[in-house]
A = this chain, B = another copy of it.
Amino acid sequence: MVDADTFLYEQLAAELGGAIERGALRPGDRLPSVRRLAEERQVSVATVLQAYLRLENTGLIEVRPKSGHFVRRRTELTAEPRAPRQCATPARVSVSDAVARILEALRDPAVVPLGSAYVDPSMLPVTALNRMLAQLAREASTAGARYDAAPGLLTLRRQLARRAVDWGVPLREDEFVTTIGATEGLSLALRAVARAGDVIAVESPTYFGVLQAIEGLGMRALEIPASPRTGMDLDALDEALRAGGVKAIMVQPNVSNPLGGVMPDDAKERLIKLARRHDLPVIEDDVYGELVFDGSRPRPLRAFDDDGRVLLVGSVSKTLAPGYRVGWIAGGRLHDAVVRLKYSQSLACPTLTQMAVAEFLGSGGYDRHLRRLRSHLAGQVERYRDAVIEFFPEGTRVSAPRGGFVLWIEMPGGVDSLVMLDRAVARGVVIAPGPVFSARNRFGNFVRISCGMPWSPKAEAAVKLVGELACELSGKRSRGLRAA
């Protein structure tokens, strides 16, 4: 559906994209020349160019120099990785050793960081943000030097409350606590809802940072299978909750990491009902909520929660500046407990970096940037995905994420991705091996790669290297498919 406010080029791109999806335009077909289409549709050449650029960015068409625009050959391999079986018992977590290996390897600036879910700074408005910081540092001299103890900088919390309207969640400024990235938000949330020995229901696979936090706090994880399309399996969750013993639910409904799924609204409603029935708190990690490729900005779980049981965690680390470490938590009815834990965990966030982010969020440039970023990431993910299909061994399955910038790859059974990590690091590439996404070290033949770095010969060589290692370890040959 196209509404009146949509830009002309967006309407045109949507229309052509639809034609490709329906098969009206087929792989290899040449699109009309820019000039001809502009005449036909009575729009400017610039509008057509922008529409074609959008389609190119989302991976649907490609430019062949001196020939024009063509519908890309979409690989046929659409098989997605399989979800694990349900697991009845919780587990103590021990992912720290492997995660430490990844993070240590990533400290070398010379490596290709396929193992880190971060967006390359070249795609972020770092210069504009830094300029604001520089200006504030010169002007707000003493303000920047003062402690600004939890709940944190008021102007930032105001901007968050304003943005929450767009998320579909009515949150007031006094419901937020600012944090050191989402990582601190998750840590505070876990500490607010549970203690050592308690069981947290998590998606399987799930982000290793969550497992690390659970491990560090001496808690246990109960893995609930998750689908690469729709996230946590709620039938499995229902069963687990009935069996008893779960203390809290930890979930990424909007673009799960590493799967890339988005939980539909009716599933979100059902999850809240389940939590209410068992009177459990829910920790929601929404760091990827702004990065759904179609721009739909799905509502957080918190929007379906009317009794404050959801602790909503977010940050600007995936969208603006990871190195600023600006995140937040809206703790719901546990707000006061979160504030107190923040006092003793780090007391206050740095003042000036919060001020700069608040100014950027208020500037209006953030939404424009998000639109561009989503479009770029969609195209990049498609490029990386094509390369995985080309270079990885036959039988490989790869996710088709609805947002974000990571791919979850299931390789043939013989591959041990921890061995793969060692070999890749030795050759200058860091990956995130499957077992760090599970409390039970499942997913031994899975790997997550990040598509946050712009596609380039260097990126291609890195994906190729990892694919070759997978071939080597599985004894299988690559499919060698390549978009024409």
Contacts and interface: CB of A to CB of B under 8 A. Distances in A.
Interface in A316-374: 317, 321-325, 336, 339-341, 343-353
Contact of A137 (B133, B142, B215): B133
A325 B348 contact: yes
A187 B187 CA distance: 12
A147 B323 contact: yes
A47 interface: no
A218 interface: yes
A116 interface: yes
B348 A146 contact: no
A344 B94 CA distance: 13
A309 to B, nearest CB: 21
A286 to B, nearest CB: 17
A76 to B, nearest CB: 37
Contacts of A149: 103, 106-107
A149 B115 CA distance: 14
B322 A346 contact: no
Interface string A124-153: 101101110111011001111111111000
A148 B191 CA distance: 24
B134 A344 contact: no
Q: Which among A149, A323, A341 has the highest number of chain B CB atoms within 10 Å?
A: A323
A127 B339 CA distance: 30
Given A212-B340, A323-B145, A340-B100, A131 B137 contact: yes
B340 A148 contact: no
A208 to B, nearest CB: 10
Given A131-B137, A144-B126, A144-B130, A100 B195 contact: no
A346 B187 contact: yes
Counting chain A residues whose Cβ lies within 8 A of the other chain, the interface size class is 35 or more
A129 B350 CA distance: 14
A66 to B, nearest CB: 34
Contacts of A99: 340, 343
A5 B255 CA distance: 64
B183 A195 contact: no
Given A145-B126, A322-B146, A323-B148, A343 B184 contact: no
Interface string A31-46: 0000000000000000
Contacts of A350: 180, 323-325, 350, 353
Contact of A212 (B118, B215, B325, B343): B343
Contacts of A87: none
30 contacts: A99-B340, A107-B149, A121-B142, A121-B145, A124-B145, A126-B142, A127-B141, A130-B145, A130-B352, A133-B133, A144-B323, A144-B324, A145-B324, A146-B322, A146-B323, A148-B323, A180-B347, A181-B348, A183-B345, A183-B346, A191-B216, A209-B343, A209-B344, A209-B347, A213-B345, A216-B341, A324-B351, A324-B352, A350-B353, A352-B353
Interface of A: 96, 99-100, 103, 106-107, 116, 118, 121-122, 124, 126-127, 129-131, 133-135, 137-138, 141-150, 179-181, 183-184, 187, 191, 195-196, 209, 212-213, 215-216, 218, 317, 321-325, 336, 339-341, 343-353
